[in-house]
């Protein structure tokens, strides 16, 4: 455009001729005009008249020149104004452009490292705050949400519309206003809990002693040895059923134990120190017990190492069909006799007045782990030392769960441990109110959420988000016929499943009904001077709420995330995608943003969750949420080939010298890639209907390019090396930078829009595509 901006000659010449003006040749004869009789008029004028006439002509020429210049200038102004109308100069556009630019590092080649190109400026301007191991756009937005909730929850109780909201306020006050009480009580609350669960029953056989202690701990909803809960039957989503799965490690993942030395490994040393320090604090700081306590805790770590070796790694747990094993309690007892299963289940279910028989069916997700656990316990209980170690292991998990709720000395011990495992500095921690807001959101999140959505979710945000989801669904379905690897029958079934996906946006409606919201929390008692016991009561409440669903059909449209949460999820057993109000905000979504940014950020999130219904796990569930084969075998084989390509691709990426785990993160990587494609195609459809958007000022990128920039900038973040390691070994998601680099390097459209040469890092010759 700039090359044509001043090229006006041809246009002006044509305009002059069309208006009857003379050619240059005709203009040369102007002074030679003749009158009647053939006498030259000029010669009949006096000298004065001739001078005046010359001056008049000169003046006219000057006026004509000025007029011509003014005319040209007027055309120039009109042209520039026309051009400027194609640039969005509203305050919102200027601010958005400024934010995009300040987050970028334009010295980086986008075809070599798009993450640094998109986020380099943001990372420089946002160092990881003290007290954190990771900082990104999610955390930045969460802090804003925290402030909103703080202002709401600190208003007088009289202004709150429900008892549940007042309970949330009381819980918050128990956290923030009663530190003097917490300090005065010290270790007493936890000692009281331990006295309740540790009972002298030496007259019982060792197996029964362990069983009794295990049941007491699980009644506190604390996971030890294994995990139990009630949920939908994967193969019959209209029914709830008991589930059992592996669990019971003190550290986040099995890799922290395997082939490590307790005396040399940084994390194990920090874990041991934390265990010992907390035990000594419970013993009122009796230093004479340090050596004995250290030996006891070393034995606990060694026992957990046995469990770690038995634990099936997450990368081997991707196929739900292979994990699913349904057995009766009688069958379980025969195969895994380390505890009395019928007694165990009835003890737990007794709190909600439900009983089971040996014919009750249970879904086991980890029979190989439970089998190994059976052998470990059988060997451990053969002598008194082994029995003592198992008891110490179980008691430690109670201590570990509740110690952070005690006085400052206990919290400081936890923070020193966290510094070692996550790399965060313990200095400059978050303000107490932020910790308490997060805590309140986890305990009474829907009550707090009712206040949050009334304050933040206004206008047509939910409806606009719904429209965007439907556009992305349509784009996903339109793309299916282009996938030559999928047979026609499976394609039609996939379209049917996409049509059946339930959209849940913002918040559950019942939270705005005071009566219904109060009923949700009616059995949860909160005392504003009992922070510790509020948490104990909440754990028991949550356990009871889960167990009582055993004889009830699964609840439709139930929410697992609170309204203020900055996240989204897909539930395969219900075929639902959920987007809490917390994420329907900038930088993910804003009604005033250009559509390119909304589709690139929030649209990709929506496409991501939709694609989860068709990733390596989601595709195993049909449109009703039932685990069953519904694909043609040939399409399954071809799907797996493409999935393997993605597994290999992401496994080749490294951070801090450590390879990513492509198999462990496969489902999320498939969702990222599929979500990006569906969201972009949906945006193109929007352009076809509404026309191109005016470009943003100064940024120099088209809106299609901005779509990819918005996607990348959602993931702007930094992490400590320890936090990255933790993420690699535990998370089903790839780290932020890998999510950007991996997803965009598979996109031909991205490579074309940014003119990336074939073979460049962002445009490799080999690309992986599933959806």
Residues annotated as catalytic are 609, 672
Which string of DSSP letters, residue by residue, matches 100-112? HHHH--TTS-TTT
Beta 134-136 vs 236-246: how paired, if at all? unpaired
DSSP code, position 623: T
Could you give the CA distance from residue 112 to residue 118 in angstroms, rounded to a whole number?
Answer: 12
Number of neighbouring beta carbons within 10 Å of residue 295: 10
Which string of DSSP letters, residue by residue, matches 274-324? HHHHHHHHHTTT-GGGHHHHHHHHHHHHHHHHHHHHHSPPGGG---HHHH-
Spell 658-684 as b/e; 16+ CB within 10 A means b. eebbbbbbbbbbbbbbbbbbbbbbbbe
Q: Please give the angle made by the CA atoms of 670, 671 and 677, to the nearest 5 degrees.
A: 95
Given phi > 0 = left and psi -120 to 50 = alpha, else beta, which region is 672? alpha
Q: Please give the angle made by the CA atoms of 686, 689 and 692, to the nearest 5 degrees.
A: 70
Could you give the CA distance from residue 403 to residue 390 in angstroms, rounded to a whole number?
Answer: 20
Q: Give the containing element (helix H, strand E) for 137.
A: helix 137-153
Residue 645, SS3 per DSSP: helix
Instruction: Name the nearest CA neighbour of 246 among 261, 271, 219, 225.
Output: 225
Could you give the CA distance from residue 417 to residue 274 in angstroms, rounded to a whole number?
Answer: 6
Instruction: Name the nearest CA neighbour of 535 among 281, 230, 221.
Output: 221
Could you give the CA distance from residue 146 to residue 166 in angstroms, rounded to a whole number?
Answer: 18
Beta 134-136 vs 717-719: how paired, if at all? antiparallel
Residue 468, SS3 per DSSP: helix
Give CA 752 to chain center in angstroms: 28
Could you give the CA distance from residue 121 to residue 716 in angstroms, rounded to a whole number?
Answer: 9
Could you give the CA distance from residue 218 to residue 248 in angstroms, rounded to a whole number?
Answer: 11
**Between the CA of residue 484 and those of 74, 496, 635, what are the distances in Å?**
58, 18, 10
Instruction: Name the nearest CA neighbour of 570 among 606, 612, 607, 626.
Output: 612
Q: Quickly count helices (H) and strands (E) in the chain.
A: 31, 11
Three-state DSSP string of 513-546: CHHHHHHHCCCCCCCCCCHHHHHHHHHHHHHHHH
Three-state DSSP string of 398-438: HHHHHHHHCCHHHHHHHHHHHHHHHCCCCCCCCCHHHHHHH
């Amino acid at each position: 455009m700039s090359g044509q901006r001043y090229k006006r000659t041809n246009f002006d010449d044509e305009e002059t001729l069309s208006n009857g003006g003379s050619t240059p040749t005709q203009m040369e004869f102007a002074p030679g005009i003749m009158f009647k009789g053939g006498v030259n008029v000029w010669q009949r004028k006096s000298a004065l008249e001739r001078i005046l006439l010359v001056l008049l002509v000169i003046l006219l020429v000057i006026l004509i020149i000025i007029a011509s210049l003014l005319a040209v200038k007027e055309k120039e102004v009109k042209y520039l104004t026309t051009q400027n109308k194609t640039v969005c100069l509203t305050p919102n556009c200027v601010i958005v452009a400024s934010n995009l630019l300040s987050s970028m590092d334009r010295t980086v080649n986008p075809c070599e490292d798009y993450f640094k190109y998109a986020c380099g400026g943001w990372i420089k301007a946002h160092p990881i705050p003290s007290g954190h191991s990771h900082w990104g756009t999610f955390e930045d937005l969460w802090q804003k949400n925290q402030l909103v909730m703080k202002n709401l929850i600190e208003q007088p109780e009289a202004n709150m519309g429900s008892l549940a909201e007042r309970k949330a306020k009381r819980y918050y006050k128990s956290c923030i206003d009663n530190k003097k009480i917490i300090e005065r009580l010290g270790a007493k609350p936890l000692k009281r809990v331990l006295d309740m669960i540790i009972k002298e029953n030496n007259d019982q056989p060792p197996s029964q002693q362990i069983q009794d202690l295990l049941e007491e701990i699980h009644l506190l909803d604390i996971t030890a040895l294994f995990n139990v809960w009630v949920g939908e039957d994967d193969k019959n989503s209209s029914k709830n059923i008991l589930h059992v799965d592996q669990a019971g490690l003190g550290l986040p993942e099995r890799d922290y134990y395997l082939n490590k030395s307790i005396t040399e490994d940084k994390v194990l040393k920090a874990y041991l120190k934390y265990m010992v320090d907390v035990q000594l604090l419970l013993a009122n700081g009796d230093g004479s017990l340090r050596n004995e306590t250290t030996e006891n805790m070393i034995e606990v770590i060694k026992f957990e190492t046995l469990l770690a070796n038995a634990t099936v790694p997450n990368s081997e747990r991707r196929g739900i069909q292979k994990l699913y094993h349904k057995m009766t309690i009688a069958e379980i007892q025969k195969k895994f006799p380390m505890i009395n299963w019928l007694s165990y289940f009835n003890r737990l279910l007794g709190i909600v007045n439900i009983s089971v028989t040996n014919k009750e069916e249970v879904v086991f997700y980890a029979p190989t782990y439970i089998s190994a656990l059976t052998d470990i316990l059988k060997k451990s209980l053969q002598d008194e030392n082994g029995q003592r170690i198992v008891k110490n292991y179980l008691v430690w998990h109670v201590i570990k769960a509740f110690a952070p709720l005690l006085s400052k000395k206990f919290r400081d011990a936890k923070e020193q441990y966290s510094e070692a495992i996550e790399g965060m500095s313990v200095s400059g921690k978050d303000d107490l109110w932020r910790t308490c807001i997060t805590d309140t959101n986890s305990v009474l999140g829907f009550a707090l959420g009712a206040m949050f959505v009334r304050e933040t979710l206004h206008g047509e945000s939910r409806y606009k988000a719904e429209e965007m989801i439907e556009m992305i669904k349509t784009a996903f379905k339109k793309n299916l016929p282009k996938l030559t690897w999928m047979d026609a029958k499976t394609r039609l079934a996939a379209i049917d499943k996409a049509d059946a996906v339930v959209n849940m946006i913002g918040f559950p409606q019942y939270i705005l009904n005071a009566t219904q919201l109060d009923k949700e929390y009616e059995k949860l008692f909160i005392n504003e001077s009992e922070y510790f016991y509020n948490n104990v009561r909440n754990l028991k409440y949550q356990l009871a709420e889960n167990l009582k669903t055993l004889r009830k059909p699964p609840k439709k449209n139930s929410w697992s995330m609170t309204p203020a949460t900055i996240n989204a999820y897909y539930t395969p057993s219900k075929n639902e995608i959920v987007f809490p109000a917390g994420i329907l905000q900038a930088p993910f979504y804003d009604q005033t943003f250009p559509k390119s940014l909304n589709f690139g950020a929030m649209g990709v999130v929506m496409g991501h969750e939709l694609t989860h219904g068709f990733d390596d796990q989601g595709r195993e569930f049909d449109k009703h949420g039932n685990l069953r084969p519904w694909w043609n075998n040939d399409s399954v084989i071809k799907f797996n080939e493409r999935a393997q390509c993605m597994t290999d691709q992401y496994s080749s990426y490294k951070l801090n010298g450590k390879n990513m785990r492509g198999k462990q993160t496969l489902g999320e990587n498939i969702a990222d890639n599929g979500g990006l494609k569906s969201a972009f195609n949906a945006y193109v459809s929007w352009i076809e209907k509404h026309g191109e958007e005016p470009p943003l000022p100064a940024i120099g990128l088209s809106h299609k390019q901005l779509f990819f920039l918005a996607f990348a900038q959602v993931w702007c973040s930094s992490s400590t090396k320890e936090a990255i390691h933790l993420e690699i070994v535990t998370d089903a998601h790839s780290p932020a930078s890998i999510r950007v680099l991996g997803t965009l390097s598979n996109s031909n459209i991205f490579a074309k829009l940014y003119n990336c040469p074939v073979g460049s890092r962002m445009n490799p010759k080999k690309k992986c595509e599933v959806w």
